Amino acid sequence: MAKPKAARGAARYPKRQIAPYLFIFPFLLSFLAFFLVPVVYSVVISLMKYKGYGTMKYVGFDNYRRLFTYNAMWTSLLNTLEYFILAMIPVMILAFLLAVVVRSHALTRWQKVYKPLLFMPQVCAVVASSLVFKVIFGTNVGAINQILGTSFNFLGDTKLMKLPVICMLIWRNTGWYFIIFLSGLTTISDDLLDAAKIDGATSVQTMFHVTIPVMKPIFKLTFITYAIGAFKLYTEPNLILSKEEAPLSVAPFVNMITTNINGGSLGMASAAGWILVLFILALTVMQMRMFKEGE
Amino acid sequence: MVTARTASSEAGRVHKIVSRTGMHLFLIVASLVAIAPVFIMVSGSLKPITELFVNSWGLPREFTLNNYERLLNYNSGMILHSFLNSVFISTVTTVLQLTVASMAGFAFSKYQFRGKNFLFMMFLLTMMVPGELLLTPQFIIFSNIGWLNSYEVQIIPAIANTFAMFMCRQFMDSIPNEMLEAARVDGAGHWRIYTQMILPTSVPTLGALGILQFLSKWNDYLYPRIMITKVNYKPIMVILPTLTEGGDTSGTPYDLILAGCTLVVIPMMFVFFCLQNKFLDSVTLGSVKG
């Protein structure tokens, strides 16, 4: 009766039974009610004009068309891209360098000290960190201005306002990617590194010909997760640069959703949500392509 | 020959020491930068506001607990209330998420059944969908069923967490089937196998997952900001940015805000330093193996 091959990976229970469905039921129920239904509903609303009360009016793709011709959307999109790229590059470079250094033989004993210290910013709540950065970059109360003896208006001068946000993104995210890269580096066996050394490779050569190629799948994954996270940026710019929602010139894309919800344009808010999904998808596909070509 | 060799090994040793010092220097500077904002936050929370304007980053010259006193009395104890709201919401959500996710993960890992692959693929695909998309429809639905401004709106919709379910399945795949088979032969039912064999074995994974889920709920800002307008139900993260004093809406009470930030950061920091490995494991849960 028992056919081990057929049952590989799962216990040999008969196929027709109710138990697995019962185990899945609570998850499935809450998934359907709070995920699938809202997703489908948001497609419907995005085609409607709806204020949150009264009747819905079907307007076709009007909401999308209006958003795409709307300056605010492009401004906030470009802002988001700016935050994304200007923070990602230093985060990735720093995280990788830190991981390489901490992984090197000479410092294995010190890993226990540096790992938690470098990861610590990630443990600080985003809201709290944003508010602290607001203080650090303040004109009069700010540590930066006090140390430099200057009075830059980091939080009000349009040319400077993105800087505190980018600094905070770098500060908070580096530790996370450092840990990811470090655990990736530990999968490279010491034998491989020793072999490279015996063959006379310098540490720079080892880095480019051994470490980086082995790490490639991890880089790929982190770029994608970083990009998705970056497009969902909301709390940092809004709380550093304002008490509620930052001015348009520095606002992230998600503000297109929230301001429309608050303003009672729920159709527009839904459409903005789908545009966000679209951008995330496009970016993911683009990055996957880029990495494929590099191979 | 001999001298040349010692000279070169001498040079090698010097080189090693120099590079090691350089590496330490790099790491020390990075660690200091990582710590600095936390230091500024804690020490600032112990200074009177007047000192912040002249000494925002050093140790407090004039040590005071007045900020905390004012914080706890703020708006008749609103801070403590919202802090407890956050603890309650995050704890209950995490427990429910892990329960539901581990049950579903168990079914996907250890059973064969009709529709299994379809369901699993459907769940996986949805991991790409950002929660921000759901904000608008959820806002409409919840306002229609009268859920806005409540605890349930902050707990129940978050229960089905696909990432947690996926991680549970992945871990449970590594539990040998022979073990469950033996228990089954001994007469253990499905539920008993789940509670007495699967769950105990999964504790390390569930712990790491739990930390991750708790932190993300604890830190959540956007969702409660949209769904909650009544102070009674607000988590502390929504309250902190709105602190004002004396009806003055233009001036920001930096001292009060720093004390509030310290209040939400320090407990997490404490847990982090006690459970470091769990935290660090939680980072790589989804990224390296996947």
Do A60 and A47 meet the contact criterion of CB atoms below 8 Å apart? yes
**pLDDT given for residue B289 in this prediction:** 39
> Average pLDDT, stretch B171-198?
91
Measured in residues, chain B has a length of 290
Q: Sign (positive/negative) of CA torsion A261, A264, A270, A272?
A: negative
Do A252 and A233 meet the contact criterion of CB atoms below 8 Å apart? yes
Question: What residues does each domain of chain B span?
Answer: 1-74+243-266, 82-240
Q: Hey, are the CB atoms on A104 and B219 less than 8 Å from each other?
A: no
State the pLDDT confidence band at B198, using cuts at 50, 70 and 90. very high
> Average pLDDT, stretch A256-269?
95
Tell me the pLDDT tens digit for each residue of A241-257: 998 899 999 999 999 99
SS3 A30: helix
SS3 B145: coil
Measured between CA atoms, the residue of chain A closest to residue B242 is: A243
Measured between CA atoms, the residue of chain A closest to residue B276 is: A116
Do A48 and A56 meet the contact criterion of CB atoms below 8 Å apart? yes
Measured between CB atoms, does B237 come within 8 Å of chain A? yes
In angstroms, the CA A253 to CA B91 distance is: 31
Tell me the pLDDT tens digit for each residue of B246-258: 655 557 889 999 9
In angstroms, the CA B25 to CA A58 distance is: 63
Q: What is the CATH number of the domain that holds A182?
A: 1.10.3720.10
Give whole-number Cα distances, A191 to A54, A194, A207, B167, in Å: 70, 5, 15, 31
Q: Hey, are the CB atoms on B103 and A28 less than 8 Å from each other?
A: no
The pLDDT of residue A4 is above 60:
no
Q: Hey, are the CB atoms on A138 and B240 less than 8 Å from each other?
A: no
Residues 55-84 of A with CB under 8 A from B: none
Minimal Cβ distance to B27: which of A23, A52, A114: A114
Do A130 and B40 meet the contact criterion of CB atoms below 8 Å apart? no
Flag the least confident range among A75-84, A204-213, B103-112, B200-209: A204-213
Residues 225-254 of A with CB under 8 A from B: 225, 228, 231-232, 234-235, 239, 243-244, 254
Q: Which residues in chain A are contacts of B112 at CB distance < 8 A?
A: 7, 10, 13, 15
In angstroms, the CA A88 to CA A228 distance is: 12
Tell me the pLDDT tens digit for each residue of B5-17: 556 677 778 878 8
Question: Per mean pLDDT, which of A214-218, A223-227, A273-277, B56-60 is the most reliable?
Answer: A273-277
**pLDDT given for residue A104 in this prediction:** 81
Name the token pair of B104: 């579903």
SS3 A51: coil
**pLDDT given for residue A186 in this prediction:** 85
Give whole-number Cα distances, B94 to A196, B205, B284, in Å: 46, 14, 19
**pLDDT given for residue B8 in this prediction:** 63
Residues 190-229 of B with CB under 8 A from A: 190, 194, 215, 218-219, 221-222, 225-226
Measured between CB atoms, does B164 come within 8 Å of chain A? no
Q: Beta-strand (E) ranges in chain A?
A: 48-49, 57-58
Q: Which residues in chain A are contacts of B132 at CB distance < 8 A?
A: 232, 234, 254, 257, 273, 276
In angstroms, the CA A117 to CA A122 distance is: 10
Q: Which residues in chain B are contacts of A273 at CB distance < 8 A?
A: 130, 132-136
The pLDDT of residue B182 is above 80:
yes
The C-alpha of B65 sits at a distance from chain A's nearest C-alpha, in angstroms, of 18
Tell me the pLDDT tens digit for each residue of A7-65: 444 445 555 689 999 999 999 999 999 999 999 999 999 999 999 888 889 999 999 99
State the pLDDT confidence band at A1, using cuts at 50, 70 and 90. very low
The C-alpha of A159 sits at a distance from chain B's nearest C-alpha, in angstroms, of 23
Bridge pairing between strands A48-49 and A57-58? antiparallel
Radius of gyration of chain A (CA): 25
Q: Hey, are the CB atoms on A45 and B104 less than 8 Å from each other?
A: no
The pLDDT of residue B24 is above 80:
yes
Tell me the pLDDT tens digit for each residue of A116-144: 999 999 999 999 999 999 999 998 889 99
In angstroms, the CA B149 to CA B230 distance is: 6
Q: Which of A110, A126, A113, A238 is nearest to A173 (CA)?
A: A126
* Residues contacting A133, CB < 8 A, separation 6+: A164, A167, A168, A171, A240, B37
State the pLDDT confidence band at A286, using cuts at 50, 70 and 90. confident
The pLDDT of residue A5 is above 50:
no
Minimal Cβ distance to A266: which of B103, B136, B157: B136
In angstroms, the CA A196 to CA A202 distance is: 8
- A44 burial class (0-12, 13-18, 19+ CB within 10 angstroms)? middle
Minimal Cβ distance to B265: which of A37, A104, A128: A128
Q: Which of A281, A283, A231 is nearest to A257 (CA)?
A: A231
Flag the least confident range among A38-42, A102-106, B63-67: A102-106
Per cent of chain A over pLDDT 70 is 93
Q: Which of A122, A132, A138 is nearest to A171 (CA)?
A: A122
How many other CB atoms are there within 10 angstroms of residue A160's CB atom?
13
**pLDDT given for residue B6 in this prediction:** 59
* β-pair partners for A58: A48
Is A226 part of a structural domain of the chain? yes
Q: What value does the mean pLDDT of chain A take?
A: 89
Do A177 and A222 meet the contact criterion of CB atoms below 8 Å apart? yes
Interface test with A, best of B45, B132, B148, B262 (most A CBs within 10 A): B132
Q: Which residues in chain B are contacts of A110 at CB distance < 8 A?
A: 24, 27
In angstroms, the CA A268 to CA A42 distance is: 10
CATH T-level topology, domain B82-240: MetI-like fold (1.10.3720)
Measured between CB atoms, does A274 come within 8 Å of chain B? yes
Query: How many helices (H) and strands (E) in chain A?
Result: 14, 2
SS3 A44: helix
**End-to-end CA distance of chain B, in Å?**
54
Which residue type does A204 have? Answer: V
Measured between CB atoms, does B170 come within 8 Å of chain A? no
Measured between CB atoms, does A219 come within 8 Å of chain B? no
Minimal Cβ distance to B56: which of A19, A146, A174: A146
Q: Which of A67, A82, A84, A130 is nearest to A256 (CA)?
A: A67
Tell me the pLDDT tens digit for each residue of A140-157: 889 999 999 999 999 999
Q: Hey, are the CB atoms on A123 and B215 less than 8 Å from each other?
A: yes
Minimal Cβ distance to B261: which of A132, A142, A187: A132
Interface test with A, best of B133, B147, B255 (most A CBs within 10 A): B133
Measured in residues, chain A has a length of 295
Q: Hey, are the CB atoms on B159 and A30 less than 8 Å from each other?
A: yes
Give whole-number Cα distances, B214 to A15, A60, A173, B123, B147, in Å: 36, 40, 18, 21, 22
ipTM of the complex: 0.90
DSSP letter at B57 equals S
**pLDDT given for residue B249 in this prediction:** 54
State the pLDDT confidence band at B287, using cuts at 50, 70 and 90. low
Q: Which of A16, A29, A20 is nearest to B191 (CA)?
A: A20
**pLDDT given for residue B209 in this prediction:** 92
In angstroms, the CA A85 to CA A76 distance is: 14
Measured between CB atoms, does B261 come within 8 Å of chain A? yes
Q: Hey, are the CB atoms on B160 and A35 less than 8 Å from each other?
A: yes
Is A17 part of a structural domain of the chain? no
In angstroms, the CA A51 to CA A100 distance is: 54
In angstroms, the CA B100 to CA B94 distance is: 10
**pLDDT given for residue A244 in this prediction:** 86
Tell me the pLDDT tens digit for each residue of B215-248: 999 999 999 999 999 999 999 999 999 988 765 5
Give chain A's domain count: 1
DSSP letter at A159 equals T
Range of the domain at A281: 83-260+268-294
State the pLDDT confidence band at A290, using cuts at 50, 70 and 90. confident
Tell me the pLDDT tens digit for each residue of B263-284: 999 999 998 999 888 888 888 7
* Residues contacting A282, CB < 8 A, separation 6+: none
Do B177 and A10 meet the contact criterion of CB atoms below 8 Å apart? yes
Residues 75-134 of B with CB under 8 A from A: 99-101, 103-104, 106-114, 116, 119, 123, 126, 128-134
Is A279 part of a structural domain of the chain? yes
Do A142 and B4 meet the contact criterion of CB atoms below 8 Å apart? no
In angstroms, the CA A179 to CA A191 distance is: 22
